[in-house]
Amino acid sequence: MEKLQSIEQFEELKNNENIIFMFSADWCPDCRFLDPFLPEIQAENSSFSFYYVDRDKFIDLCGDLGVFGIPSFVAFHKGEETGRFVNKDRKTKEQIQSFIDGLNK
């Protein structure tokens, strides 16, 4: 998963189609729990582009978006937020896939 490099990149990317930002941190055990199955989720949802957002590096962006728990996911399509799966709880592959499936409706 490509890492977000700047706020400018975020502003540009969110205007594309089917973008999902994953807010995470290297030190977060619930975030690391996702590592084994994230490649599968990306492969099974190839109509979406996924970007890793380091919560510590982009703390102001997290505040602006109301992302106060990680791991969390926020989806955009052509500049509009289309969905969010934001909380501090550990997430399963099935829960993340259900969130993504809900974006397609």
Domain ranges of the chain: 2-103
* Superfamily name with CATH number, domain 2-103: Glutaredoxin (3.40.30.10)
CA torsion through residues 67, 44, 4, 26, sign: positive
Q: For Cα atoms 58, 63, 87, give the angle at the middle one, nearest 5 degrees.
A: 100
Check pLDDT > 90 for residue 94. yes
- The 10s digit of each residue's pLDDT in 20-31 is 999 999 999 999
The phi and psi torsions of 72 (rounded to 5 degrees) equal -140, 155
pLDDT of residue 74: 97
Distance between CA atoms of residues 4 and 50, nearest Å? 10
Q: Tell me the whole-structure pTM to 2 decimals.
A: 0.94
Which whole number is the average pLDDT over 57-73? 96
One of 4, 20, 28, 41 is an active-site residue; which one? Answer: 28
pLDDT of residue 104: 67
One of 20, 31, 38, 103 is an active-site residue; which one? Answer: 31
Which whole number is the average pLDDT over 55-82? 96
62 is catalytic: no
* 4: DSSP letter: P
pLDDT of residue 80: 95
Rg from Cα positions in the chain: 12
* 76: DSSP letter: E
pLDDT of residue 89: 87
pLDDT of residue 105: 53
